[in-house]
Amino acid sequence: MYLTICIPTRNRQRYCIEAIKAIAESDETDFEVIVADNSDDASILGDYFRTEVNDSRFRLLPPTDTVMPMVDNWERTIPEVRGRWISMIGDDDHMDPSVLQVIRRYEREQPELEVVAWGRMNYNWPDNRTITTLAAVPMGHATHVPDKKIVRDQLYRWSQREKRPIGGLGIYHGAVRRSLMERIKRKYSNRYFENPTVDFDNICKAVHEAKAMVFCQRPFSVLGACAASNSASTQSFEAMQKLVDEFYRELGSHERIEDEDFPFSPRLPGLAIITSIASATWWFCRKYGVDNEGFQENFAHSAVHECLSSRTVEEYRIKVEGFRQGFAAFEGGKWSSHFNPPAEFFPSTAQNELCGVHKNTMYIRESGLEKITTPAEFYHFAEAFVMPVRHLVSARQAFAA
């Protein structure tokens, strides 16, 4: 078995079933799908697998007696994996199994390859369009070998000073070789996944440990956002607060997202995503002695960018106040002076309104996609705009540094 796609899911069975149905349409045979069900009602997916799934490529891990924290649901999938390579997607996402052809090509040319990343499309399910929304399709198809020093600076130090550090070079909407996951478990607390911000937990460790990494600009998966997803919470403070509260209820005895010495809680209104990522990178570097000099100042600049992405003046005010509280308590307020958001803020009237191509990504207004109702349908629609897989696999172009 070459590739295993894992789909952890909780109480979003109808989206998960759509993900299963879409992947099952693939003609590829050298892959498997493991669905790890952590739902309150085991019967929905249990009955679906028993009556509808007649495909040996798919397996179901049923719920346990008690609800697991998300990190534990991810953790239990890896011992079940048969594939040489492993990928994780959300239950409201889509992934094209033909990516295994590209991974094979890369592995032939880079025998020590352990992480493969690719472009990801973005799509909002029809039930998650409370505001004007845009779907996104990366248009590139080049292959890059990332410079490890630059990647580590961007991840651990937040050297780009943008809203988010570099992502994708991990198991979530990427692929990690099984042997690297075993090495991670041996080195890091005898677990595959440790921090509750599971995707960045893995990115931090994979980037630190991988012998070789490759990034393909061509998209092979879709980050879907349904009404119940974490991504949906960016459209509503109330939805974000509800998801954060539920997350903490189910966290159990695991590492808290915020450390005592990093007082930027995901409970701060509107800041759950950026603070959970920042906390995960800070936690990793502190716990495992990874040099992240410059992170504090860079994070302060990133926080300003986060505030400036606000859609309304009120949202801007709330985010600024949340960060100010955090920086006042962070290392005795040492970095507060680096958090300098403008006193006045004027939100863009064109945010999420304009469609077209910008910086090698095509943006499509989703109000015009009435007949496209799932991430998989959007992926097949968008395939008309991107490089066919067969051309990527047969190409003999050199890797770009």
Looking at residue 395, its pLDDT comes to 66
For residue 217, give both structure tokens. 């600009």
Contact 91, 19 (CB under 8 A): yes
Verdict on whether the full-model pTM lies above 0.75: yes
SS3 290: coil
* Whole-number CA gyration radius for the chain: 21
What is the pairing mode between strands 58-61 and 113-124? Answer: unpaired
Contact 169, 207 (CB under 8 A): yes
Looking at residue 329, its pLDDT comes to 93
Q: List the chain domain ranges.
A: 3-227+361-394
For residue 346, give both structure tokens. 């004027």
What is the pairing mode between strands 356-358 and 361-365? Answer: antiparallel
Contact 123, 33 (CB under 8 A): no
- Identify the helix (H) or strand (E) that includes residue 123: strand 113-124
Side chain identity, residue 297: E
* DSSP state letters, 239-287: HHHHHHHHHHHT-TTSPPSS-TT----TTSTT-HHHHHHHHHHHHHHHH
Tens of pLDDT along the chain (401 residues) come to 999 999 999 999 999 999 999 999 999 999 999 999 999 999 999 999 999 999 999 999 999 999 999 999 999 999 999 999 999 999 999 999 999 999 999 999 999 999 999 999 999 999 988 888 899 999 999 999 999 999 999 999 999 998 888 778 999 999 999 999 999 999 999 999 999 999 999 999 999 999 999 999 999 999 999 987 655 545 455 555 555 555 555 555 555 555 568 998 777 767 888 999 999 999 999 999 999 999 999 999 999 999 998 988 998 999 999 999 999 999 999 999 999 999 999 887 656 667 888 888 999 999 899 899 999 999 999 999 999 999 999 865 555 55
Q: What is the DSSP letter of 172?
A: B
Classify burial at 63, counting beta carbons within 10 Å of its beta carbon; exposed 0-12, middle 13-18, buried 19 or more.
Answer: buried
Looking at residue 50, its pLDDT comes to 96
Q: 174 forms bridges with which residues in the sheet?
A: 117
Nearest residue to 206 via CA among 189, 227, 185, 221 = 185
- Identify the helix (H) or strand (E) that includes residue 14: helix 13-24
* DSSP state letters, 304-365: HHHHHT-SSHHHHHHHHHHHHHHHHHGGGGTTGGG----SS----TTTTT--EEETTEEEEE
Q: Rounded to 5, what percent of the chain is helix, strand, coil?
A: 40, 20, 40
User: CA-to-CA distance for 350 and 10, rounded, in angstroms?
Assistant: 35
Contact 50, 13 (CB under 8 A): no
For residue 4, give both structure tokens. 């295993």
Contact 67, 38 (CB under 8 A): yes
Question: Does the domain formed by 3-227+361-394 have CATH 3.90.550.10?
Answer: yes
- Dihedral angle of Cα 147, 151, 154, 159, to the nearest 10 degrees: -20
Contact 93, 19 (CB under 8 A): yes
Helix axes 272-288, 148-156, angle to 10 degrees: 120
Looking at residue 266, its pLDDT comes to 73
- Dihedral angle of Cα 115, 121, 127, 130, to the nearest 10 degrees: 110
